[in-house]
Amino acid sequence: MVGDTRLFKQIEHIRRQRWVRGLIDYLGISLGSLVTAVGLVSFQVPNKIAAGGVSGIAVIVHHLFGLPVGIIMLALNIPLFLFSLRELGLGFGLRTLYGTLTLSLFVDVMTPRVPVLTQDLLLATIYGGVLAGIGLGLCFRFKGSTGGTDLAARLINKYLKISLGQALLGIDFLVITGAGILFNAELAMYALLSLFVTSQVIDLVQEGVSHAKGAFIISQHPAEITQAIFRELNRGATALKGRGQYTGREQEVIFCVVSRAEETRLKDVIYQVDPKAFVIVTNVHEVLGEGFKRRRF
């Protein structure tokens, strides 16, 4: 009986954790959709910057026919979602539908209420791209999406066997080319620049700013270097099995992760033990575990 009660409590705890995690995901997607909408309303739409995707098509249609951008995005996304639901199943989740609806809603609700912050094309390109990248990055980070070209690319991948990356690139290229034909070549170039900014910021939001360094250390004195790292930096290290392809000799490779502030000290510690050590230092975007941050959700 006691075991059954304990099991029941564990199940309830897991369910509660999943509910809280799901709530946080939806709040994160909402925030991401809001930030993306600000980028569209305050920078990209009024300056005719059609930076690819469904939002780019919506910008073009809006300036040609005067239709609300959010309604256009929704009209394009819903058929894609329904077709994807039938062809791809529920694997991509309801979060995609939620992100699609909230982004369209935010755009149309904010359009008459949020001011256009600049008419300088370069500023609109950069800041619109940054906000779109932050917003989309948040959506992706919380396991969501705003639909659009993601869904179209999945369908193209399934039926034409074209990779997702190539499909996305092709769709964005067509949209920007269309903007160049209907508006002018200069606006198309700004749109391409905005798309590049957005993609870089998405990676930054998902991966985080490089705040740690990973080091691979090849030395004839691996045990001494490991002990020195423990003693001087209070950091752990892992011994990896390696083999020199030229010499054919088995050798340990020490791997450790330190903060950026500790990089210089790490190299000093290594070369004090072995001046001939071979060291590779690389950026580490996110570290979870003891001595660094812990993943909460």
Calpha distance 135→53 (Å, rounded): 15
Residues in a beta bridge with 254: 217, 239
Say how many domains are in the chain.
2
Do residue 15 and residue 144 come from a single domain?
Answer: yes
Last residue of a domain, one of 207, 240, 273: 207
Dig out the tokens for 272 from the structure. Answer: 């004090």
Residue 258 sits in which domain range? 212-284
Q: What is the pLDDT along the chain (297 residues), one digit of tens a residue?
A: 555 666 666 777 677 888 888 889 899 999 999 999 999 999 999 999 998 889 999 999 999 999 999 999 999 988 888 877 776 566 556 788 899 999 999 999 999 999 999 999 999 999 999 999 999 889 888 878 887 777 777 777 777 877 755 777 788 889 999 999 999 999 999 999 999 999 888 878 877 665 789 999 999 999 999 999 999 988 989 999 888 887 888 889 999 999 888 899 999 999 999 999 999 999 887 777 666 666 554
Tell me the whole-structure pTM to 2 decimals: 0.76
Residues 54 and 186 in one domain: yes
- SS3 of 139, please? helix
Q: Is residue 57 classed as helix, strand or coil in its secondary structure?
A: helix
- With beta carbons less than 8 A apart as the criterion, state whether 221 and 279 touch: no
Quick one: 278 and 165 in the same domain?
Answer: no
pLDDT of 272: 93
Residue 9: inside a domain, yes or no?
Answer: yes
Check: CB of residue 237 under 8 Å from CB of residue 226: yes
Does 248 share its domain with 219? yes
How high is the pLDDT of residue 88?
Answer: 59
DSSP 48: T
Half-sphere exposure of residue 65, counting CA atoms within 13 Å on the CB side?
9
Q: List the CATH number of the domain containing 261.
A: 3.30.70.120
Instruction: Check residue 230 and give its pLDDT.
Output: 92
